[in-house]
Structure 1
Amino acid sequence: MAVLLALLCGAGTGATQERPLTGTAGQVPYATGGIGQEEREALEAMRDQYNLRLTFATRGSGALLANVALAITDGRRGPVMTLDDCGPHVYVKLPPGSYTITAVVDGVEQRRRVTVGRPGGARELVLYWPGTDTERA
């Protein structure tokens, strides 16, 4: 897993992508984006199609973070999907089950367990990273 994440962190092409970006990673449908008002509105219109909604932000300021490397593994630790440049919001449609979410920003990893598919709707998860000294000032 560490090797996979190391590869993901350096796998960006540097090309600007139009957002929100929708597609499939493996067999998993997803949407990502939300940097501008139009992107947020477009994602909001799609939100009910996805059962896991992730947001990446800076602790303290709440500033949203993009350029996140994301890996989702299932209960057997097998990869379900990976994205090398996503955020600040990622919506995912997963089969019911338990998953590990691993996200990396600037070499700092966040890992969370989540179960989707239970009655009661979609799961929402916000992952926070420490802010820079400038943001804390």
Structure 2
Amino acid sequence: MTSVRGLTPSRVVLAVLLSFSPVVLQAASEVPIDMSAVQLEPKEQNGITYLSGGVGQDESQAIQQVKGYNLHITFSIGPDNKYLSGVDVVIQTAKGRSIVSLSQVGPIVYVKLPADNYLIIASQNGHEKRSTVVLEGSSTGTVNLHWSD
């Protein structure tokens, strides 16, 4: 089949569909991704939009190209820092109010949050990790939570 600017017809359709949703990918031709393996779907909880995924190389590359989310959380495990999914996450304001509670997400979670200070509490197999992040203006906060095994 003929491609447009290096994009297969299925990628063109996906790019058009995603342009009408909160998930907007950078130029799809930047990284060759098998979009049939990608199952990213924005979700919402308490008015907060989030995206979870990154299982497999194609989905991992696709989620990392998504724009518009100001908190990027990554979960990993072991000495090789392997991606970890199936994590439960609670995001709280600095005043301790839970605003998002997610079950079995990861290994990458992107969240759209208002500027504020946040506490991220993640648990996996009974082991908890905590991190704080300050989101200001147009900055993006990055949190990497790692379990040793």
TM-score by length of 1: 0.76
Q: 1:75-121: per-residue Cα shift (whole Å, max 9, x none)?
A: 221111010110000001100000100000110000111111245x2
Greater Rg over alpha carbons, structure: 2
Gaps of 5+ in 1: 1-17, 132-137
Contact 1:102 1:109 (8 Å CA) reproduced: yes
Counterpart check, 1:58 vs 2:64: no
Residue equivalent to 2:140: 122
CA distance in 1, matches of 2:61, 2:76: 18
The percentage of counterpart residues that share the same residue type is 29
Q: Aligned-pair RMSD on alpha carbons?
A: 1.5
Task: Provide the C-alpha distance between the structure 2 equivalents of 1:87 and 1:20, rounded to a whole number of angstroms.
Answer: 11
Q: Secondary structure at the match of 1:95?
A: coil
**2:51 alignment partner in structure 1:** 31
Unaligned runs of 5+ in 2: 1-37
User: Which of 1 and 2 has higher RCO (CA within 8 Å, sep 6+)?
Assistant: 1
For the 8 Å contact 1:19–1:32, the answer to whether it is kept is no
Q: Relative to 1, partners in 2 of residues 1:40 and 1:89: Cα closer, same or farther, differing over 3 Å? A: same
Aligned to 1:134: none
Q: Structure 2: which amino acid aligns with 1:41?
A: Q
- CA distance in 1 between counterparts of 2:112 and 2:86 reads 21
What TM-score, normalized to structure 2?
Answer: 0.70
Structure 1: which 4+ aligned runs deviate by more than 6 Å? none
